Every structure is written in structure tokens, then in C-alpha cells.
Amino acid sequence: MGQAEGDGPLETPEGPVILKVNGKIAHTNIAQEARFDREMLTALPQHAFETGTPWTDGCSHYSGPLMRTLLKHLGYTGDVVHVTALNGYEAEIPISDFYDYDVILALERNEQQIPIREYGPLWVLYPFSQDEALLSEKMRFRSVWQVMQINVR
């Protein structure tokens, strides 16, 4: 499904690594993984939306790269991602979700970095307020916060 984009290997992170992506990807930078610091993720094209979530009060402004943009940047070839959170939570998400909806890897909430205690630093976030179907239990389980690793399968 995916296609390789970019020109070869990724740059190496200079700051603390906040995301590791492995599996069926063409572009890596360290030990067959794509490791990202915050600066590398903010260098990708950013997407933003306003949404409420089942876990937060009211609507907030979230921004970060679209998940499909991140995966294209890595030259993915799989059809599912396995996402692991800092707290050990894991979810399988079909990559088709990232084309059906503008799912982002949220880096900011209301133009501020998202602290770990508030679901950060990275959150696979669906635009819940744009489609009531996203509020189903199945879709809520796919919205992983405190993301640390993504495995493309």
C-alpha cells in the first residue's frame, strides 16, 4: 500500500529519542529503526484540528504530523501498525484508518507540548468531533497516548 518517499536514510536524532518506528519501513537511521527526536517530528508537515476527546474536558486544539505523512516519510509497506505506549498499553491500528480520517500523532495541545501526565508527549489522535462514528469503543481503543513505539506490519 505504501510507497517510499524521501531520499535515503533519515537524519540521526540529536535530542532525546521520543519515538521509535520499526518493521516494514524503507528508511531507518539507527539499528533498523527510525528514531525521532521532537525536532525531527516537528520538521514534518503539521496538521491541526479542534476536537474534544472522551478523556479530556471541552475542545482543544491539537497539532502534529498526520500518521499517513509519517508513514509515507518512512516508506512503509505494511497495512497495520502496532502501537506501544509508555504504560505498556498496545493497540493494532489498520493503516487504512489514516487515509479514512485525518489521524495525527499529536505533539501539541493548545500550542503547548503535551506532558506525560496529560497523555503526551505523543498521542495517536483521531478527530473525534468530526465524525460520531469515531466515538465507538473500537475507535477509542485505537487512540493511543504516551506513544513510544510503532511497529509497521
For the chain, what's the residue count?
A: 153
- Residue 7: pLDDT band with limits 50, 70, 90: low
Superfamily of domain 17-152: Oxidoreductase, molybdopterin-binding domain (3.90.420.10)
Q: Each residue of 75-134: pLDDT tens digit?
A: 999 999 999 999 999 999 999 999 999 999 999 999 999 999 999 999 999 999 999 999
Q: Indicate if the pLDDT at residue 8 is higher than 90.
A: no
| Backbone torsions φ then ψ of 67, nearest 5 degrees | -60, -40
Domain spans, the chain = 17-152
Q: How many CB atoms lie within 10 A of CB 132?
A: 8
What is the model's pTM? Answer: 0.93
Could you give the count of Cα atoms lying within 13 Å of 91 in the half-sphere of its Cβ? 21
